[in-house]
Structure 1
Amino acid sequence: MGVQLILAEKPSVAKNIADALKIKTKKDGYFEGNNYIITWAFGHLVELYDAKDYDGKMRSWKMDNFPFIPSEFKYKVKSNPRNRSQTDGGAAKQLKIIHSLMKRNDLEAIISACDYDREGQLIGDSIIYRGGVKPKASVFRLLLNEWTQNEVLQGLENLKPNNTMQPLRDAGISRQWADWVIGINLTSVATLKYQQGKSKALNIGRVLLPTLKIIYDRDQEIANFKPEDYFKLTATFQTEDNHEYEGIYIENKDEKFKKKEVLEEVHNLIQNKQATITDKQVEKKKEFPPFLFNLSNLQGFITNKYKGWTSDKVLKVAQSLYEKKLITYPRTSSIALEESLVAKTAHVLKVHSEDLPYEDEIKFMKTKRVFNNAKVESHSAIIPTYVKPKRLSADEGIVYSAIKNRFIMQFMPIAIYEETKLVTKVFETDLRGFFHSKGKVQLVEGWKKVEKIQSKDTILPFVGLNEHVQLIGSEVTTHVTKPPKHHTERTLLRVMETCGKSYKEDESEELMGSILTGFSIGTAATRAETIKKLKDVGYITTESKNLLCTELGKRLVETFPVKNLFDLEFTGRLEKALSDIQKGKASKQEFLRLVFHFTTESVESIKCAEDVIINKVTSSRATNEVLGTCPQCGGKVTDGFKAFGCSNWKKGCTFVIWKNDKYLASMRKKPTKTMVKMLLKEKKAFVKGLTSKGGKKFNAYLSYEKNSNNDYYSWKMEF
């Protein structure tokens, strides 16, 4: 009997498969035993050629070289991330091992066990069919949603021929080639056109720019917002048995009034009057738990609830929980489970219900909210597996608990509250309006027990219809309309996921429709990366949870001429096309033809656009200019590569002002030669244009003084 070679995406997953098959023997780059060989990649082992690999003239950036679209796309071994001109030694070695295993005479089948998604398909196929060579052995695909032993063993019984995955591979390749062509061409041309200094590029990307535009638009809305005053009238009534309640005056369904005089007139008319309750409605209302998590909702939930978390961090932690067999596949856009998972889910629920204080309230039920094939696209929602964690880091604990709790909530009683609405009318007046009061009392806590969610009760006194009450007080209050809020990672992810269609929880049918048809910006897997990249390249910045456009980001949006790249609909259509290729409904060739045409046109429109500089990159070279005398040892302070520092540092002098000083950076400033000269000469410098946490500009005197208890220096500020 021949052996079967399994290729996993990462070493940790290979180990999970080996454990499931009870294989202990580990060799250099693979496990072997029980007629199986299990080897692994480290994510992508090969990558697309750089432009200069196709043509030597592309080594120098010249406008005339673009547009550059290769006639055929080629792959090379992954580059070393620390030095792009070298090959990554580890990747090269592992590729060699995998290919030598593929040539073994006793090999019967090759099984790609990379993640069940576009990227996973691409990683596996790019290694197995490297250089266009078809392997001798048949190639199969292991398609799993989790790495637990049961799933691995069951999955190996139900392998699919790898050629049935052609649409998934086509979608992966289309995404990869399209992003390469758009990125390489537009980044290069935009950098040549709009930037002074070439030490780094002005990044242009298919998903990057529309995401930047979402943040820019919100910032503009806030900047252009004009606050307006509005007024409310609140009255206090007393019932016959001396209980009090409040009501807000409503006229034509509106409780906010533009004119204060209107309410003051009402206020004067009603003093010391009797009133009656003309309407009373009591209604029991159901509150369903929020849906199971998809990746975007999980990222939104965690970044909103915990300080210092980013979407990128949530994905990394979820990925590690997935590789440890503790949760199902995290990069999903679905908020329901496949209907075939009913029995398995019941088992998982039983495992996690044990010893909970509300265990007796948990009941497994097959409901459409949880099990619904129409709401699942390739992967079900994220839930825990039947494996109970032994040890979790603090970060893993936060993400795991959120997923487990959200899962358990689905099988707890529905929460119920009672809502009471009263309408109170004042006698002996010809008022057009009435006073409206609302009360709420939680009757059944249900799923809210899981995360101890406190409901705010507003208790109204018990009153009957037509009962008389006495008006005992009223006041007109002034309010100001508030600007929209800045985007946070949570709100940004929501806009990206739905391509700008806003929604509320109860309208989520239509929203789910848009996710399932593939209309989105990026995918669940790539959105976190996009937000991180926007920060890294300096287009956006964060203030506590808020995301704001930087000056550079703003200039880019206002100057860059390819307006389609900022358009949510345009990017949504590209993402939709990729999703259709994946479903076998659209052709890879047609999509790429469209992308190449768009790229060629975009390059031309950038070349023809007005010449403006939106970014000046000054390479921070060491001028070694002497700026003054060192306050610590009397030596010379000079302008170095990374810092302004004392030239006697070899003799132990510690005086230094770093060019990326954190204190100054927190106020969006960098130290300048002028500032340092001033500090050395006058002991303090007047600095203009510092930015407060709230985004306000201010000026101040800064001094740089030695700490009394150690050799270091600290900043002091005076106004």
Structure 2
Amino acid sequence: MSKVIIAEKPSVAKNIADATNSKTRKDGYYEGSEYLVTWAFGHLLELFDSKDYDEKMAGWRMEHFPFVPEAFQYKVKSDPSDRHKPDQGAQKQLMTIKALIERADVDGVISACDYDREGQIIGDIILDYLKVEKPVERLLLNEWTPDEVASGLKKMVSNEVMTPLKDAGISRQWADWIIGINLTSVATLKYQRGSGKALNIGRVLLPTLKIIYDRDLEIENFVREEYHKLTGTFKTPSGENYDGIYTVDGNDKFEDIKSLEAVKTALAKKRGVVKERIVELKREYPPTLFNLSGLQGYVTSKQKGWTSDKVLKVAQGLYEKKLITYPRTASMALEESLVEKTQKVLNVHKRGLPYEKEIEFHTHKRVFDNSKVESHSAIMPTYVVAKGLAGDEKIVYDAVKNRFLMQFMPVAEHEEMTILTGSVDMDLPGQFISKGRRQLVEGWRQIEKIKSKENELPIVEKDDIVEIAKLKIETKGTSPPKKHTEKTLLRIMETCGKKFKNQKKKAKEDEDLNEASEDDSDDVDEGIDVDESDDQEMIQSILSGFSIGTPATRAETITKLKRVGYIGVKGKSLYCTEMGRKLVELFPVKSLFDLEYTGRLEKTLSDIGKGEVERNDFLEAIIAFTSVAVNDIKNDDFHVIQDLQVPHEGSLGKCPSCGSDVIEGKKGFGCTNWKAGCKFVVWKEDKFLKALGVTPHRNTIIKLLETGEVFSNNFVNKKGTKFSAFLRYEKNEDNDYFSWKMRF
């Protein structure tokens, strides 16, 4: 007897087929002596559209909402080129899976889709749709290497054990359908009537937009505050110079310049004295192993033009090629059961490296810690050696491999020196503080050639007398926060906006480095001092599920925000477009912008996956929320269409009648609001213009919409004589159509 294995994608099916010796390639599957290995193409099935449940929903009408079906149903996914027809490839593959399962020599099914809530429902929805009655087992793997597949097949679980994860996936899918279908439809009807484009409303989309909006507003409302600093340059007995910043009770920024001028004057021609010399040995651990958000943030900050969505797609490809472990993970550590496997992987990848002898395997809690793992361990390379990688794949693979190797390199060490300098001849309320740094052990920093900015101070002893060579007062100003990048946005989505110890420290350092350029501000991925080891609170927050979206969906959310025109990109910086701003400010369902509310929803989905919350309770709450939100939109007093208008690609300007976009078509230049009755259109074969010997072009229409009239000295009268005039296109007094008016 045989078992049917269903993989999520053809590439994964090929890996499983190779590992199980299922070598015979058939139409839609591989066959071996024990297994028939087939595949989906991600989701083969999709939820019914609202019109599939009720014909009246085919035309959007406000009175038909809110709409929630009595029972959700699935159909073969639609053809992307014609949504009215099922995708023929998906339909054929579904029938292949059905035929294989129904074979007389098949006594069971193995779901081998990705081990997450989305992978769980990809397999389960297919099995439910086909009404499979044969026993179903679940293959739960973190990578697709032959050893792991063979091992995983020996310790499968019944698919019934995975019911909570299925419930979480189904709840996410149905909740997003209920919110998306209802609120997108009603919002479009209310604010976008006749625009021809929907106003996208989503559970994860809007709070992410609000994060960017809030940062933009913070920057715009920022008030620069001036402060002053006094720097002293001191000369040691041996003739070496060092600088120090004047500080009183820990503060080196002064609002009152006069107090600094008084100190500067008092110290003129005086001598300094070394009050104290402090030397501390600091140890720096490497940054933690990557989870998906960390990998996306790292690569997008280093590589110009990269997006988090691109990083995910490349990482997914490497995973399917057996080169890295499962990338859609929130964890930054490895399960303790992976010790032996990890040592094997390390031995493979350290071979031949110039620092091979420095790499030593260990089982420290920074790397192996079950309390820091949720479902999937952090991303690491597999024992399969990558050959011939180039371009995008090499960039992502090297990032994962290098971060892995760093964990087993020596801890980096540097010496921090602090010199406190006072005055010999007078009592000062403060003192001059000088900071220096000297790298002693490069350690893990060698792997990516990370260099620290050395700032060595001269060797002085306490009570040494130093000459005050120079005193300088500088006036500076506080800096506004920087625009969000994909790296900073992903971290806020991951922790739902919570701030932690290390983040606060980083923010303080950024404030002190206000001369740094915006594009370079996120490029450094430093280690962690031993006395500031990983913030357990942050890690637990990430793993709790209290977040905006999941590791798998955050990149897609950012990409969609760009695609629908709610945010824009300049360099690495993200900003809220005018349309995005209007949506945040005017859309009445404010809870959808609330990070706390969205975080609770995502946390509840996580708890459903753990079997701690019932699916039906969650969905009842979503239905109740949607019903209230629909009524809030219906009763909203705001009616101005153009302020929330989605800009059309190729817009030439705004319609003088209704304010919608004017675009070029095959026969003319018309208002996109024509379905709602707007009559503004300039035909390319306009008879009046043709009689004048001119033809309207794009630039003509742009000028007309911008200034209200256009000038030409190429008009021709009936006698064939050229003349000059201004031409206007004005709405008729007795109807909604437009006519040409001439001004000489």
Superposition TM-score tier, normalisation by shorter sequence: 0.7 to 0.9
Give 1:172 shift.
0.3
Match of residue 484 from structure 1 = 481
Match of residue 692 from structure 1 = none
Question: Structure 1 residue 39 and structure 2 residue 64: aligned?
Answer: no
Aligned residue type for 2:567: I
What secondary structure does 1:412 align onto?
A: coil
Match of residue 528 from structure 1 = 555
Question: Structure 1 residue 603 and structure 2 residue 646: aligned?
Answer: no
Among 458, 473, 478, the residue aligned to 1:461: 458
Q: 2-side partners of 1:323 and 1:656: how far apart? A: 51
Deviations 1:592-626 (A, max 9, x none): 01111000011111111112323235473637459
Q: 2-side partners of 1:611 and 1:290: how far apart? A: 49
What secondary structure does 1:129 align onto?
A: helix
Match of residue 229 from structure 1 = 226
Deviations 1:177-234 (A, max 9, x none): 0000000011111111122424111000000000000000000000101112111000
Give 1:21 shift.
1.6
Question: Structure 1 residue 210 and structure 2 residue 253: aligned?
Answer: no
What secondary structure does 2:663 align onto?
A: coil
What secondary structure does 1:43 align onto?
A: coil
Match of residue 289 from structure 1 = 286
CA contact under 8 A between 2:704 and 2:710: conserved in structure 1? no
Question: Structure 1 residue 143 and structure 2 residue 140: aligned?
Answer: yes
Deviations 1:409-446 (A, max 9, x none): 00000000000111100122232111000111000000
Q: 1-side partners of 2:149 and 2:294: how far apart? A: 28
Moved more, 290-299 or 610-619: 610-619
Deviations 1:27-76 (A, max 9, x none): 11011012210000000000000011111111111110100011110101
CA contact under 8 A between 1:622 and 1:639: conserved in structure 2? no
Question: Structure 1 residue 513 and structure 2 residue 540: aligned?
Answer: yes
Q: 2-side partners of 1:273 and 1:323: how far apart? A: 71
Give 1:79 shift.
0.5
Question: Structure 1 residue 107 and structure 2 residue 109: aligned?
Answer: no
Among 539, 560, 565, the residue aligned to 1:538: 565
Among 644, 647, 654, the residue aligned to 1:615: 644
CA contact under 8 A between 1:199 and 1:619: conserved in structure 2? no
What secondary structure does 1:171 align onto?
A: helix
Match of residue 17 from structure 2 = 18
Deviations 1:98-124 (A, max 9, x none): 111111111111000000000100000
Question: Structure 1 residue 178 and structure 2 residue 175: aligned?
Answer: yes
Matched ranges for 1:639-678 at <5 A: 671=702, 674=705
Q: 1-side partners of 2:272 and 2:386: how far apart? A: 62
How many residues are paired up? Answer: 649
What secondary structure does 2:432 align onto?
A: strand
What secondary structure does 2:631 align onto?
A: helix
Deviations 1:357-387 (A, max 9, x none): 0000000000100000000000000000000
CA contact under 8 A between 2:663 and 2:669: conserved in structure 1? no
Match of residue 117 from structure 1 = 116
Matched ranges for 1:82-93 at <5 A: 82-93=81-92
Give 1:478 shift.
1.1
Unmatched 5+ stretches in structure 1:
628-637, 642-646, 648-654, 660-669, 684-719
CA contact under 8 A between 1:623 and 1:640: conserved in structure 2? no
Deviations 1:237-296 (A, max 9, x none): 111111111110001211011121111111111012111111111110001100000000
Deviations 1:372-408 (A, max 9, x none): 0000000000000000011223000000000000000
Change (3 A) 1:434 1:156: same
Give 1:136 shift.
3.4
Aligned residue type for 1:233: L
CA contact under 8 A between 2:200 and 2:564: conserved in structure 1? yes
What secondary structure does 1:214 align onto?
A: helix
Q: 1-side partners of 2:300 and 2:360: how far apart? A: 31
Among 233, 237, 242, the residue aligned to 1:240: 237
Among 493, 497, 522, the residue aligned to 1:496: 493
Match of residue 550 from structure 1 = 577
Give 1:22 shift.
2.3
Aligned residue type for 1:214: I
TM-score for both structures, normalised by structure 2 = 0.85
Q: 1-side partners of 2:704 and 2:126: how far apart? A: 52
Q: 1-side partners of 2:301 and 2:193: how far apart? A: 38
Unmatched 5+ stretches in structure 2:
504-531, 646-659, 671-680, 685-689, 691-695, 715-744
What secondary structure does 1:199 align onto?
A: coil
Deviations 1:116-135 (A, max 9, x none): 0001000001111215x2x2
Aligned residue type for 1:615: L
Change (3 A) 1:256 1:194: same
CA contact under 8 A between 1:234 and 1:474: conserved in structure 2? yes
Q: 2-side partners of 1:49 and 1:84: how far apart? A: 12
What secondary structure does 1:22 align onto?
A: coil
TM-score for both structures, normalised by structure 1 = 0.87
Change (3 A) 1:82 1:458: same
Aligned residue type for 2:330: S
Percent identity of equivalent pairs: 56
